[in-house]
């Protein structure tokens, strides 16, 4: 599908304005685009109990899924850093639940990006098929 990459990136940059990151000060924004052309955005939300922090990508994904979306084309993620912002392992796994063909745009402060499919970022994924084929082949202890 052809889509306006610049629009996806600006949605992520705008979402970053809302980042709640008083501990790390690493402010992240994300925007996910559905195959039907709808955008959902998210920012990172930190917590005094550090481990409860939620990344921008998951906030965007959860907003989309809770609105009934399951088909995604692309996600953009950005921090205001010189280096490209890449999704953490937990976000890669969470996004993979909805397909590994997803295009992931990793954006830096200048708006330059690296793009890879989720399949490239998370090879040998543990997904629904592996879970189901695994349980079917389970051997009794």
Q: How far is the CB of 60 from ligand THU (least distance, A)?
A: 10
* DSSP H helix total and E strand total for the chain: 5, 5
The catalytically annotated residue of 14, 17, 57, 97 is: 57
- Distance of closest approach, residue 77 Cβ to ligand THU, in angstroms: 5
User: For ligand THU, how many residues bind (rule: CB under 6 A)?
Assistant: 15
71 neighbors 1 (Cβ within 8 angstroms): no
Residue whose CB is less far from ligand THU, 18 or 38: 18
Least gap, CB of 129 to ligand THU (angstroms): 26
Active site residue 6: no
Alpha-carbon torsion (124, 103, 42, 26), positive or negative: positive
Site string for ligand THU, 26-65 (x = CB under 6 A): x-x---------------x-x------x-xxx--------
Q: 131: which 2 tokens?
A: 């879970």
Closer residue to ligand THU in complex, CB, 87/98: 87
Contacts 24+ apart (CB under 8 A), 96-99: 96/122, 96/125, 96/127, 97/127, 97/128, 98/61, 98/65, 98/70, 98/71, 98/72, 99/71, 99/72
- Contacts with ligand THU by CB under 6 A lie at 21, 24, 26, 28, 44, 46, 53, 55-57, 77, 85, 87-88, 91
Catalytic (active-site) positions:
57
């Amino acid at each position: 599908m052809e889509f306006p990459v610049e629009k996806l990136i600006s949605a992520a940059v705008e979402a970053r304005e809302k980042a709640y990151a008083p501990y790390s000060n690493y402010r992240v924004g994300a925007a996910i685009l559905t195959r039907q052309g709808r955008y959902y955005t998210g920012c990172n939300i930190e917590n005094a109990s550090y481990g409860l922090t939620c990344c921008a990508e998951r906030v965007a994904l959860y907003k989309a899924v809770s609105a009934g979306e399951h088909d995604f084309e692309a996600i953009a993620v950005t921090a205001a850093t010189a280096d490209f912002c890449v999704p953490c392992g937990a976000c890669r796994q969470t996004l993979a639940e909805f397909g590994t063909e997803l295009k992931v745009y990793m954006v830096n402060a200048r708006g330059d990006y690296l793009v890879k499919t989720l399949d490239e970022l998370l090879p040998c994924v543990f997904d629904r098929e592996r879970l189901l084929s695994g349980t079917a082949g389970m051997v009794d202890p």
